[in-house]
Amino acid sequence: MRGLLIVDVQNDFCEGGALGVDGGNAVAAGIAQFLATHSSDYATIIASRDWHDPDNDNGGHFASPGEAPDFVTTWPIHCVSGTPGAQYHPEIPVDSIAHHVKKGQGIPAYSMFEGHDDSGVTVEQIMRDVGVSDVDIVGIATDHCVRASALDARKLGLNVRVLNNLVAAVSPVTEASAREEMNKAGVVFD
């Protein structure tokens, strides 16, 4: 059985957002078109969102006030729970998604496997319950949360395919190293 993982296609990660990635809007539109014709190809569809606490630095994930983020371990404030930036991009057809996962609630979290749905069920448990052995991954950003999610899926023994035309990266340099790392872990790019 094959599942689809949609990683962090949120307003703050698309053009105009707090951490906008070039191509984010195009990825959102592409995912919407893809789901219109391919959603029945999947046993389940799971989408993740960064969902950070509004009243703390989320375990050092947000840069301290007055300090510049390093864009490696510290970041500008983004995807704060309940804000427009944390919402799915408006192109994403929410009704096509079977499970909605939130991650980074008070802590740094990159992989969607670090999150859970509102009832506390993890992505790993959802996969086991449905009998998923293969996953396709789409979303933002190739070099951060897509990378972390793909590597965690491989650690669980899942066959992983990243759909090249439905991801966007922060930087060509970090994208290249992330793709190399994923490739070495057995991730396929299509």
Reading the block at residue 82, the tokens are 């309940």
Segment 140-155 mean pLDDT: 97
Please compute the mean of the pLDDT values over residues 39-55 and round it to a whole number. Answer: 96
* Residue 65 confidence (pLDDT): 87
Biggest CA–CA distance in the chain, Å, is 49
pTM: 0.96
Mean of the per-residue pLDDT values of the chain: 96
* Residue 72 predicted with pLDDT over 90: no
Would you say 108 and 61 are in contact if contact means Cβ atoms under 8 Å apart? yes
Domain at 2-189: CATH code: 3.40.50.850
Q: Which two tokens stand for residue 45?
A: 């569809």
Catalytic residue set: 8, 103, 145
| pLDDT for the residue numbered 37 | 96
CA torsion sign for 23, 25, 31, 33 is: negative
Among candidate residues 45, 19, 15, the one with its CA nearest the CA of residue 32:
45
Q: Rounded to whole angstroms, what are the CA distances from 184 to 23, 158, 173, 178?
A: 26, 15, 17, 10
Amino acid identity of 48? S
